[in-house]
C-alpha cells in the first residue's frame, strides 16, 4: 500500500497512517491518495476521517459503476480513467469533504501525475488549491485521458480497415473483437459518469463548497463527457462497419475461389466424358483409328475444341 499525502502547504510525501491521521487532525491534509490499500488501512482511514462503513466497504470491493452518493459530512464518487487501449480501465473511489479529499485506486493512469504537477505549480505560486477544485481537476484529468486514447483507437480502426480490404486474416478478426470489448467497457462507464455530473449540475446532488463559478468548471466537464460519449458511439459504428467489411471481404474471396473451382470442374467435365468415351474398346474404332493423325484429331482435337468453347462462353457471360 502506498499513501501519497499532500498537505495544505503544497508538500507531498509517502507517509504512514499515523502521519495521515496527524495531518488531518492539524487540518493540513489536502489530498490522501491510497494505492491498492488493504482492508485494515481502509477501515482505519474511515475511522479517523469519519467515513461511513458502507462507503469504505465499496472501496474494498472494486467493480462498481460510476456513481455519486451523498453521506453526512462527505460525498463518495466513483469515477473511471484510462491508461491505454491495451490496459483495463482504472477505477477510482473518491471521498470528498471540505476538510479532505481521499482517492482509492488499484491501477495507475496519467491523470494522477498531471494532478500532482498542477499542485506543484500552485506550490510554486504560493497558493493552495481549493479541495473542490482539486476534485474537479482529478475528474477532469480522468475524463480528458480518454481523448488521446480514443484518438489512438481511431487510428487503429483506420489501419485495420485498410488491412482488411487488402487481406483479411483470423488475427484481424480477433483484434476487432478485442477492440469492441474495450469500447463496450468504456461505454458502460462513460454514460453513467456523464449522468453523475449531470446530477450535480441539476441540483439532485450537492457538493459542499459548490459555487456558481466552480459550477461552470463542472459544466465544462459535462461537455467533455458528452463528446467522449459521442466518440465512443461513432467508433462503435465504425467497428461494426469494419466487422461487416471483414465478413463481406471473406465472403467475396470465398465466392471467387468457389467460382474458380467451379470453372475448373466444368472444364474437366467434357474432358472426362471424351476420355472416357474414347477409352472404350469399340470394335469399329479400334479397327479404323489406327493412324497417329486420326488419334490426334479425335483424341486431342475434340478436347481442345471443348475447352475453347467453354472459355469463350465464360468470357462472354463475364465469369472470367
Is 310 a residue whose pLDDT tops 80?
Answer: no
Helix (H) / strand (E) element for 223: namely helix 212-278
Mean pLDDT for the stretch of residues 7-23: 72
Instruction: Lowest mean pLDDT of 62-76, 94-108, 250-264, name the range.
Output: 250-264
pLDDT band of 49, cuts 50, 70, 90: confident
**Do the strands 67-71 and 74-81 form a parallel or antiparallel pair, or are they unpaired?**
antiparallel
* Local structure of 206: helix, strand or coil: coil
Q: Cell digits for 244?
A: 461487416
DSSP code of residue 170: H
As a whole number of Å, the end-to-end CA separation of the chain is 69
| For helices 212-278 and 302-316, angle between their N-to-C axes, nearest 10 degrees | 150
CB pairs under 8 A, 24+ apart, for 154-157? Answer: 154/235, 154/238, 156/85, 157/235, 157/238, 157/239, 157/242
**Percent of the residues in the chain that have a pLDDT greater than 90, as a whole number:** 25
Mean pLDDT for the stretch of residues 41-63: 87
Query: Average pLDDT of the chain?
Result: 83
- The answer to whether the Cα torsion of 34, 40, 43, 48 is positive or negative is negative
Tell me the pTM. Answer: 0.76
- Cα(196)–Cα(43) distance, integer angstroms: 26
- Cα(48)–Cα(30) distance, integer angstroms: 15
Phi then psi for residue 70, to 5 deg, are -100, 120
Instruction: Lowest mean pLDDT of 2-11, 100-109, 201-210, name the range.
Output: 2-11
Is 230 a residue whose pLDDT tops 70?
Answer: yes
Mean pLDDT for the stretch of residues 117-133: 74
Amino acid at each position: 500500500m502506498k499513501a501519497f499525502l499532500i498537505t495544505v502547504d503544497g508538500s507531498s510525501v509517502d507517509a504512514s497512517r499515523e502521519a495521515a491521521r496527524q495531518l488531518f487532525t492539524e487540518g493540513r491534509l489536502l489530498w490522501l491518495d491510497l494505492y491498492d490499500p488493504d482492508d485494515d488501512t481502509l477501515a482505519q482511514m474511515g475511522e479517523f476521517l469519519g467515513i461511513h462503513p458502507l462507503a469504505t466497504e465499496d472501496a474494498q470491493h472494486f467493480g462498481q459503476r460510476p456513481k455519486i452518493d451523498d453521506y453526512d459530512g462527505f460525498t463518495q464518487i466513483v469515477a473511471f480513467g484510462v491508461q491505454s487501449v491495451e490496459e483495463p480501465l482504472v477505477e477510482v473511489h473518491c471521498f470528498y469533504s471540505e476538510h479532505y479529499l481521499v482517492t482509492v485506486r488499484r491501477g495507475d493512469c496519467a491523470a494522477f501525475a498531471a494532478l500532482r504537477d498542477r499542485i506543484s505549480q500552485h506550490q510554486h505560486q504560493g497558493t493552495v488549491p481549493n479541495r473542490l477544485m482539486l476534485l474537479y481537476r482529478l475528474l477532469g484529468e480522468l475524463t480528458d485521458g480518454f481523448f488521446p486514447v480514443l484518438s489512438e483507437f481511431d487510428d487503429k480502426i483506420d489501419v485495420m480497415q485498410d488491412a482488411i480490404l487488402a487481406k483479411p486474416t483470423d488475427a484481424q478478426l480477433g483484434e476487432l473483437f478485442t477492440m469492441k470489448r474495450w469500447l463496450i467497457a468504456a461505454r458502460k462507464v462513460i454514460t453513467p459518469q456523464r449522468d453523475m455530473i449531470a446530477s450535480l449540475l441539476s441540483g439532485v446532488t450537492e457538493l459542499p463548497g459548490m459555487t456558481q463559478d466552480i459550477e461552470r468548471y463542472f459544466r465544462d466537464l459535462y461537455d467533455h463527457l458528452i463528446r467522449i460519449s459521442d466518440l465512443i458511439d461513432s467508433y462503435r459504428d465504425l467497428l461494426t462497419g469494419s466487422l461487416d467489411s471483414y465478413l463481406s471481404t471473406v465472403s467475396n474471396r470465398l465466392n471467387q475461389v468457389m467460382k474458380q473451382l467451379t470453372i475448373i470442374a466444368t472444364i474437366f467435365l467434357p474432358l472426362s466424358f471424351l476420355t472416357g468415351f474414347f477409352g472404350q474398346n469399340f470394335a469399329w474404332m479400334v479397327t479404323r483409328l489406327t493412324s497417329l493423325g486420326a488419334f490426334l484429331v479425335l483424341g486431342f482435337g475434340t478436347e481442345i475444341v471443348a475447352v475453347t468453347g467453354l472459355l469463350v462462353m465464360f468470357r462472354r457471360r463475364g465469369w472470367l
